Amino acid sequence: MLSFLAPALVGIAVFFIYPLASAIYFSFTRFDLLTTPQWVGTRNYAYLFTQDKLAWQAAANTLWLVVVLVPARMIAALATAMLLTAARRGSGFLRTVFYLPALAPPVAATVTFVFLFNPSTGPVNSLLELFGVDGPLWFDSPTWAKPSLVLLGTWAVGDLMVIFLAALLDVPKPLYEAAALDGASSWQRFRHVTLPALSPVLLFAAVTGVIQTLQYFTQAAVAASVASGEATTGGGVSSTFGYPEQSTLTYPLHLYIAGFRYYDMGYANALAVVLFVAAFAVTLVLLLRFRAFAGGRK
């Protein structure tokens, strides 16, 4: 039995257990990659929880994205998928069109979005101006920077949309017919037929979405660098992370800066361990609660 499991166990030990054990060990040390790690007890955790204001700001930004971006992406993907199932003609073409943004590389897509939403020269604000609306500063505003990232995230929902589409097409038609015969409204059909049928897929989307958003890095880094006007500097690009006014500084960005700009690897590992615990806890809660939310059996 064990020999059958051996390849998997070796993989888990080498690529999960060992790195995790290392991260936990280093999180209790002062380590700069250059000198031997020195045991400092809980000092890194004490600094994280009691002194590092930026860590709390980064955690709050990340939490904001988890609370807003994940549901927004799921709703956008589900709505698009439902519209596509209703399309009678050209559904193949439409599916391709709506999936295409998911193929855009995140860096290129983010750069394009920052230019489109440029408050001074971008077409979005020019369009709003035609309707008499004075557009916001988008990626240059501490208030609007995160909502702008959400817009970017909901634009590229093709990956989720395809999964929802497959699940929607898999819902047995007789269930809808029976519900209709019983006089169920379209909302009731959605709530009591579609949602329960989709619940495994919704759970998958929620769990992976939360984990991905807890690790949100590329788009926030690129948007801050491009919007700050210093995207091409050779030295210290990470100094622009968080622009404007740390509103886009996510937890992984803070971790990256601690590790690879300040070389506080011990502290970066403490940040990573806390992130791991948070992601694990959120995943557990979602697994325990989601079925009830989606109307399935507990």
Partner 1 sequence: MLRRCSVLLAAALLIGACTPAPDTDEIAPAGQEASGTVDFWHFFTAREADAIERVIAEFEKAHPKIDVRVTAGQDDAKMLQAISGGKGPDVGLSYSTDIVGKFCASGAWRDLAPYLDRDAVDLSQFPETLRSYTSYRDKRCAMPFLADTYGLYYNKTLLAQAGYTAPPKTMSELAEMAKRLTRRADDGTIQVAGFVPLMNFYEHTPQHIAPAWDAQWLTGDEHSAIGTDPDWLAMLAWHKELIDWYGHANLQKFTAGLGDEFSADNAFQQGKVAMAVDGEYRVAFLRDQAPAVDFATAPLPVDDSKPELYGAGFVTGNVAGISANSDNPEASWELVRYLTTNTDAIVKLANGIKNVPSTQDAMESPDLKLDEQFQTFMDIFANERTATTPPNSAGPKYIELTQDYVNGYLAGEGGGLETGLRDLDEEINQALDLGR
User: What residues line the site for partner 1 (CB under 8 A)?
Assistant: 18, 21-22, 25-26, 30-37, 43-44, 47, 51-54, 118-121, 137, 139-142, 227-236, 239, 242-246, 260-264, 267
Nearer CB in complex with partner 1: 43/189? 43
Residue 15: CB minimum distance to partner 1, A: 15
Nearer CB in complex with partner 1: 48/205? 48
Nearer CB in complex with partner 1: 158/244? 244
Q: How far apart are alpha carbons 265 and 249 in whole angstroms?
A: 19
Residue 151: CB minimum distance to partner 1, A: 16
Residue 130: CB minimum distance to partner 1, A: 15
Residue 169: CB minimum distance to partner 1, A: 44
Nearer CB in complex with partner 1: 19/172? 19
Residue 216: CB minimum distance to partner 1, A: 20
Q: How far apart are alpha carbons 72 and 69 in whole angstroms?
A: 5
Nearer CB in complex with partner 1: 53/297? 53
